[in-house]
Amino acid sequence: MAVSAAKAAPTSDSQPAPEAAPETGVSSASGALEFTKEEELHAHREMLLIRRFEEKAGQLYGMGLIGGFCHLYIGQEAVVIGMQMAVEPGDQVITGYRDHGHMLACEMDPKGVMAELTGRRGGYSKGKGGSMHMFSVEKQFYGGHGIVGAQVSLGTGLAFANRYKKNGKVSLVYFGDGASNQGQVYESFNMAKLWKLPVVYVIENNKYGMGTSVERASSNTNLSQRGASFDIPGEQVDGMDVRAVKAAGARAIAHAREGKGPYILEMVTYRYRGHSMSDPAKYRSKDEVQKMRETHDPIEQVRARLIKAGLATEDELKAVDKEVRDIVNAAAEFATNDPEPDPSELWTDILR
Amino acid sequence: MPIEVLMPALSPTMEAGKLAKWLKKEGDAVKSGDVIAEIETDKATMEVEAVDEGVLGKILIADGSEDVKVNTPIALILADGEDESALKNGASTPAGDAQPKPDAAPAAGEPKTGGEAAAKRADEGAAKDASGGKQPTGDAKATGSAAANPPAPEVLPEPDVPEGTEMVMTTVRDALRDAMLEEMRADERVFLMGEEVAEYQGAYKVSQGLLEEFGAERVIDTPITEHGFAGVGVGAALAGLKPIVEFMTFNFAMQAIDQIINSAAKTLYMSGGQMGCSIVFRGANGAAARVGAQHSQDYAAWYSNVPGLTVLAPYTAADAKGLLKAAIRDNNTVIFLENEILYGQQFPVPKLDDYVVPIGKAKIARPGKDVTIVAWSIGMTYALKAAEELAKDGVDAEVIDLRTIRPMDTDTIIESVKKTGRLVTVEEGWAQSGVGAEISARVMERAFDWLDAPVTRVSGKDVPMPYAANLEKLALPSVAEVVEAAKAVCYRT
């Protein structure tokens, strides 16, 4: 959490992870971070599910089946999967509008998520929420929020409720590098620290707030230190390495659960696609994206380790890919054929 | 001539207080800045400082005297060279001056000499209260503005209050506190958060005593960060708690309005009915007195525009209590608009274990047959006073207290208009896209054929609220305007 890590703060053409925060000792994939075979396989499958789901969503968007805004999570999969490997049942998750991956990581049904994207009655919000507004009380997923930064105060409120109920749960609040400049983020940091709320703030620094790079938007690009004036500890983490994410997540969550208050994790990551489907991403070079995909892809890293260590064969991993594709295809099939909401739904769920 | 020390006004809306304690006794020398007495209002205990030098010649109002009107002489200070014989002359004069001078607007509330309120608790609430401490309380009376001196509440009792129920005179402030107290006792999920709600006991003393009963876990002082703590409240509500979020005034809630509308009001719909937000946002709304444009806005129309919100604006203490209890129990997001000037006013409240007033039901506060006047919150003070004036001229006005702005009880208005054929709406907010405009549209849609005259709106003038006393008065609706509008729609002069 040394401020000097700022020098390593990612630039648009730097590699995000290895040099990100040597001081934290988190980023380097040292022996201490090794996953068991089961963990590697789990991470691989769950990340692949998000990847394939998002690719399919992009496809359906292109076909006109998904409308409006659609923000894909491709490239950032290790962040949410690593964090979910560190939680306990009942811990809450809340995020912004790039939320499909979080929902899948919370084990929400891909059919329900995809059907919401297509605006159908079988969607999680009966087709009334859309890509940015989905929730699952059962899975403790609190959205899905379309206003940049709003989820930070809301997630702090979830942590407030945990403390009020003394239920021992921790709230994970995800937001991006763009939201990290919002005023209410700091109002929330203050209250979270003041009241020692059990909350982990996960800043997914994918280097661009829409088309504006972190360097052009943030006076200090080491976002892990954004809690410094509230005395909230923070770390930069290689958000492309699911093992580093899980290890940092476990530390942060334990800190929060032990009653020590909030913790900030800056996940240095990268999104491969544009900000939304309608973003041509002219603000960065194809090379930059290509380089990231080739050298830091979160799924490829796990895959390579599995093969190299002889923990899985190519055929076995192909089988996983097929299983995941089947799930995604079934979700797309459902989301395509499920009827639109009944017109009477226009008038429901306003008050209860 | 001895110098009179007058009972000071410690807030823009203070009319009287208790002289708690003298800290100097007769014969003591006092100099400028000495604290000579403590006085208590329903909001706070404050110290009175001498602003002149001399000897405290005579104490006119004894320790412990209650309900001492602002500007009443409370002591005489003998200047250099004066002795007690001067008291004989001096003491006889103040009687006439004890009452606020009705038409000397800015001067009436200015302690002529001697007494000065000292805001020793230099924090937000007190500082703000005291900042307008020169508000001439007699001023409003003189001009016929009902705001500072409402007509005796001859509001009809709620129909479902059993006959013979004891009625207890209660301030709106205490009624609101009682509502929170009762609901917090009944439901552990209910908690109160906001600026100065706990240790300070509420900037307007609405939360008095709650910290002592429920502790800091459930009565929570927040930093001055409306956007953040509104969001925290909404998040807690999404997780199943039932927060009461107090805004010191709704003017500050503009910083939080994104969380109120985008997060609180819309989530139930956006989640397909899965996740709702049971929360009450409450606080003082509209103009207080002499606090200028940024602290004097009426937000009733703003919030009433939004589906997913319930908007309440009670006038009487009974409705304040009964509706706040209903609001806290409600499963949705409720905007509860209070009024600073009404906080200190007393109304009969039925002494019942659980007095709840239904949301969405207007009340006929005064039956009549010639013209319908619809008002709510402090607008009712103008409406009721105007109805009295109109009665003298043979115009029998029916006054409807809307109480709930959204969902609006249109039926009660339509029924009344079908009887009277005439409608005047009264609100302190601006006319454009105002609540009166909405009522007018609904009546046009549903009772067009019953109207014998165009609906007329009496509203706040289309300007930011000015500070100067005379301009502020002009900017707000007045009894005279309501009377005039009612006569106009009755084609009377």
Among candidates B234, B270, B274 on the partner chain, residue whose Cβ is nearest the Cβ of A137: B274
pLDDT of res. A6: 37
Decide if A191 touches B, using CB distance below 8 A.
yes
Residue ending a domain, among B350, B376, B410, is: B350
State the Cα–Cα distance between residues B381 and B460, nearest whole angstrom.
Answer: 14
Is B48 at the interface with chain A, CB within 8 A?
A: no
Position B154 confidence tier, pLDDT thresholds 50, 70, 90: low
Q: Is the Cβ pair B272, A128 closer than 8 Å?
A: yes
Same domain (yes/no): B401, B472: yes
For residues B308 and B407, state if they share a domain: no
Is 90 exceeded by the pLDDT of residue B258? yes
Task: Check whether residue B128 and residue B203 sit in a common domain.
Answer: no
Residue with tokens 């309005």, as numbered in its chain: B257
Q: List all residues of chain B from 303 to 342 with a beta carbon under 8 Å from chain A.
A: 307-308, 310, 331-332
**B125 & B230 share domain:** no
- Of residues B105 and B156, more confidently modeled: B156
Which residues of chain B neighbour A133 with C-beta distances below 8 Å? 267, 270-271
Whether the CB-CB separation of B425 and B458 falls below 8 Å is answered with yes
Domain count, chain B: 3
> Would the pLDDT of B85 be above 80?
no
With beta carbons under 8 A apart, name residues in chain B contacting A352: 268, 273, 276, 331-332
CATH of the domain at B445: 3.40.50.920
Marked catalytic residue, from B15, B47, B183, B226: B226
- The answer to whether residues B320 and B482 touch, using CB atoms and an 8 Å cutoff, is no
The answer as to whether B158 is a domain residue is: no
Among chain A residues, CA nearest to B234: A154
Contacts of A159 in chain B (CB under 8 A): 235
Contact list, B233 vs chain A (CB under 8 Å): 157
Q: CB distance from B188 to chain A under 8 Å?
A: no
Q: Which two tokens stand for residue B35?
A: 């604290």
A91-143 pLDDT, tens digit per residue, is 999 999 999 999 999 999 999 999 999 999 999 999 999 999 999 999 999 99
Residue B223 lies in a domain: yes
Q: Is B331 within 8 Å of A153 when comparing Cβ atoms?
A: no
Do B332 and B372 belong to one domain? Answer: no
Residues B106 and B210 in one domain: no
For B270, which residue in chain A has the nearest alpha carbon?
A: A129
**Distance between CA B128 and CA B111 in Å, rounded?**
19
Q: How large is the ipTM?
A: 0.89
Burial of B309 (0-12, 13-18, 19+ CB in 10 A): buried
In this structure, is residue B58 part of a structural domain?
A: yes
Residue B211 shares a structural domain with residue B278: yes
**pTM greater than 0.90 (yes/no):** no
- 3-state SS string for chain B: CCEEEECCCCCCCCCEEEEEEECCCCCCEECCCCEEEEEECCCCEEEEEECCCEEEEEECCCCCEEEEECCCEEEEEECCCCCCHHHHHHHHCHHHHCCCCCCCHHHHCCCCCCEEEECCCCCHHHHHHHHCCCCCHHHHHHHCCCCCCCCCCCCCCCCCCCCCCCEEEEEHHHHHHHHHHHHHHHCCCEEEEECCCCCCCCCCCCCCCHHHHHCCCCEEECCCCHHHHHHHHHHHHHCCCEEEEEEEECCHHHHHHHHHHHHHHCHHHHCCCCCCCCEEEEEECCCCCCCCHHHCCCCHHHHHCCCCEEEECCCCHHHHHHHHHHHHHCCCEEEEEECHHHHCCEEEEECCCCCCCCCCCCEEEECCCCEEEEECCCHHHHHHHHHHHHHHCCCCEEEEECCEEECCCHHHHHHHHHHHCCEEEEEEEECCCCHHHHHHHHHHHHHHHHCCCCCEEEEECCCCCCCCHHHHHHHCCCHHHHHHHHHHHCCCC
Alpha-carbon gap, residue A224 to A233, rounded angstroms: 8
Q: Is B226 a catalytic residue?
A: yes
Residue A316: which CATH number?
3.40.50.970
Domain assignment of residue A137, yes or no: yes
**Where is average pLDDT lowest: A30-39, A310-319, B81-90?**
B81-90
Within a domain: A5: no
- List chain A residues with CB under 8 Å of B239: 92, 142, 157-158, 161-162
Tell whether B38 is covered by a domain. yes
Local confidence band at B159 (pLDDT 50, 70, 90 cut-offs): low
- Residue A280, chain B, CB below 8 Å: the answer is no
Q: Quick one: tokens of B98?
A: 């004890």
Quick check: B375 contacting A, CB < 8 Å? no
Q: Is residue B152 domain-resident?
A: no
- Model confidence pLDDT, tens digit, residues B168-210: 999 999 999 999 999 999 999 999 999 999 999 999 999 999 9
Q: What is the CATH number of the domain that holds B191?
A: 3.40.50.970
